[in-house]
Amino acid sequence: MKGHIFKSSLAILVVVLCVKVMAGQQVYPPELFAYADTVLYNGKILTADDQFTMAQAVAIRDGKFLAVGETSRILQLAGPQSRRIDLQGKTVVPGFMDTHLHSAFMNISFKSGQSGKVRLESLEGGLKEIEAFVKSAQPGEWVNLAGPRGPAFAALRKEHLDKVAPNNPLTVSASSDDFVANSLVMDKLSPDIPGIEKDPTTGETNGVLHGWSVGVVQWEIMPWNPPPGELLESQKEDLLKLNRLGLTTLMGKADGRAVSVLKELWGKEELTMRVRLAHQFLWQNPHGEPFLKRLGNLSGFGDDMMKIMGLSIQPVDGSISSGSALTFNPKIREFSGNPYGLYGQHKWIDTAGEQWRTLTDHENVLLANRYGWTVTSLHTGGDQAAAIHLEVYDKANQEKPLTGRWGMDHLNWVTPESMEMMKKLGVIPSVYHRSWGSVEGLDKIIFQYGADAIHRMFPAKSMIQAGLKPVAEADADVLPMASPLWNIEKFVSRKDEGGRVWGADEKLTRREALNTYTNWAAYYSGDEERLGTIEPGKLADLVVLDGDFLEVPEDEIGEIPISLTMVDGKVVYQQEGR
């Protein structure tokens, strides 16, 4: 009743004002009345709101959704200068929000003057590869290389690297937790930093680094080359490529360089994508509390285009493709030379009895919570790693109730007990299908873990049944895995690229799958009041699909073309000829 009275009163006011205007009496500022900037009509608008409301048209004004409804009504909001877009039956959905796509940010891969990969098939051959990279560098220029964690890498010591790189700081890494450095790097490290391996007989350092000492090398010692300013155009191009896939918001962990690059674009108003950053300043950081005291709590700091949503830390384990994900069940078989064992890698404990670590990154989780930060964008490969992360989250919560949106990402496998703990703590699970993007790559995982394990991967339906709202991520910036529609197709069909169906009981409905990239994804970054659905008052991010999302065959969802992408009511991508 009150709503009808309000609408009637408003209508009378409008009539009175119009009469006075026609009589030459301007009794109101012109800003009170404004037409929509853009109207999209004659389409299928999937609002992705909690009721999954569908409409025919949507009006946008001042970067926000003004109204949603039938075409005849919404067209009345268009004026002489309004842009009218006839959708001709196309589907409109909210802008896609990827919850873990840090690979789209300029980060560690740009930190060294010379970087690349070496095969390290043998110690002697690997040293020749390394020497070739060093010779291409300038004297004194940092050389940062990566190779497999096999027998040759395990045999590398600083004296080997000193011979091939006497004048260049040199690191060779096998993972984010395993480095070997030459003397020019070791001399820059304090001997008291946890993670520096020493010869058990002589007590001398041998160049092998783990854990927090790796963090000091990566984040504090390794130079920025090139500087952030030279990366602006490359970053802009990368964001535009993702706009073509319908992406309007990216989330993920970011180091200081990525933050600097994105901040420059933000200041120049040249971002075509909203960014939500999990800052990595506590990642493998042995000086956590001093950093927190100097920086203060910045969780949630920023605006609608760029915001720090929390921080991320060094995870417990590695990836399933390498066999380093930490699982409860052992692998059914191992690749020759596999260094991770049957259960995978545990980065928070000592290995092989070597006492190189006296502190673990889980203490940074507790510190972050004490200082009010949110921990999010946390890599979680195996189900045992998920349980360990949640155990530490729970410990932090008992000390001081968690605030903000805490998240865990990837979650290839997760137990029912972990799902219950997520629900208890309010932790949001983020899920991906990257490992299903290649038949050959997936077969390597099957070789290690068995086909039954693949059926249990990415249990999004079980999460929903447990009372959770899982969100979606690509964790890849290459096709097809970077595409939200490709990932949505995997949620719905549970088919790999070879057409094999895995875990059919974990299939999502199209509505649920769309929510993982829209409505529910907005909650992950704390933007549910501003983003994620097409509703009046929310920010006008949307995607026009050249097809019917609800009607195309499920294994063709990933092939629906993107006609147009809007961020803040502005077109950031439009298909040629449309």
| Sequence-distant (≥ 6) Cβ neighbours of residue 181 within 8 angstroms | 158, 161, 169, 170, 171, 172, 207, 209, 217
Whole-angstrom distance, CA of residue 193 vs CA of residue 214: 10
Residue whose tokens read 């903000």: 404
Q: Give the pLDDT band (50/70/90) at residue 352.
A: very low
Name the DSSP letter for residue 330. Answer: P
The pLDDT of residue 357 is above 60: no
Quick: pLDDT tens for 338-350.
Answer: 888 999 998 887 5
Q: In what order do the strands lie in the sheet with 570-574?
A: 54-55, 44-46, 91-94, 542-545, 562-567, 570-574
| SS3 per residue for 365-408 | HHHHHHCCCCECCCEECCHHHHHHHHHHHHHHHHHCCCCCCCEE
Three-state DSSP at 574 gives strand
CB–CB of 385/313 below 8 Å? no
User: Of the candidates 521, 505, 578, 501, which has an alpha carbon nearest to the alpha carbon of residue 544?
Assistant: 578
> What pLDDT, on a 0 to 100 scale, did the predictor assign at position 502?
97
Name the DSSP letter for residue 218. Answer: I
Whole-angstrom distance, CA of residue 247 vs CA of residue 237: 14
The pLDDT of residue 28 is above 90: no
Whole-angstrom distance, CA of residue 306 vs CA of residue 300: 10
Alpha helices for 23-155 (secondary structure H): 71-74, 123-135, 151-155
Rounded to an integer, the average pLDDT of 300-309 is 97
The pLDDT of residue 220 is above 80: yes
Residue 493 sits at φ, ψ, to 5 deg, of -95, -30
> What pLDDT, on a 0 to 100 scale, did the predictor assign at position 349?
77
Rounded to an integer, the average pLDDT of 308-334 is 94
Quick: pLDDT tens for 105-148.
Answer: 875 444 445 578 899 999 999 999 999 999 999 999 999 999 98
> What pLDDT, on a 0 to 100 scale, did the predictor assign at position 348?
85
Average pLDDT score over the chain:
90
> What pLDDT, on a 0 to 100 scale, did the predictor assign at position 3?
44
> What pLDDT, on a 0 to 100 scale, did the predictor assign at position 227?
77
Whole-angstrom distance, CA of residue 3 vs CA of residue 372: 41
The residue ranges of DSSP E strands in 205-299, in sequence order, are: 205-210, 247-254, 274-279
The pLDDT of residue 264 is above 70: yes
Whole-angstrom distance, CA of residue 324 vs CA of residue 319: 5
Name the DSSP letter for residue 95. Answer: P
Share of the chain above pLDDT 70, in %: 91
Quick: pLDDT tens for 149-177.
Answer: 888 999 999 999 999 999 999 999 988 88
Dihedral, CA atoms, 451, 453, 458, 463, nearest 10 degrees? 130
> What pLDDT, on a 0 to 100 scale, did the predictor assign at position 114?
56
The pLDDT of residue 1 is above 80: no
Quick: pLDDT tens for 33-59.
Answer: 789 999 999 999 999 999 999 999 999
For the whole prediction, is pTM greater than 0.85? yes
Return the structure tokens found at 131. 């020497």
Whole-angstrom distance, CA of residue 20 vs CA of residue 26: 7
Q: Give the pLDDT band (50/70/90) at residue 78.
A: very high
Rounded to an integer, the average pLDDT of 356-371 is 80
Rounded to an integer, the average pLDDT of 295-310 is 96
Quick: pLDDT tens for 389-425.
Answer: 999 999 999 999 999 999 999 999 999 999 999 999 9
| Sequence-distant (≥ 6) Cβ neighbours of residue 354 within 8 angstroms | 197
Alpha helices for 296-450 (secondary structure H): 362-370, 383-399, 416-425, 439-449
Residue whose tokens read 């043998």: 122
Residue 441 sits at φ, ψ, to 5 deg, of -65, -40
Give residue 501's identity as a one-letter amino acid code: V
| Sequence-distant (≥ 6) Cβ neighbours of residue 175 within 8 angstroms | 149, 318, 322, 324, 345
CA atoms within 13 A on the CB side of 107: 18
CB–CB of 473/101 below 8 Å? yes
Quick: pLDDT tens for 505-522.
Answer: 999 999 999 999 999 999
The pLDDT of residue 442 is above 90: yes
Q: Within 10 Å of residue 186's Cβ, how many Cβ atoms?
A: 22
Please state which of the ranges 131-140, 280-289, 308-317, 352-361 shows the lowest mean pLDDT.
352-361
Name the DSSP letter for residue 276. Answer: E
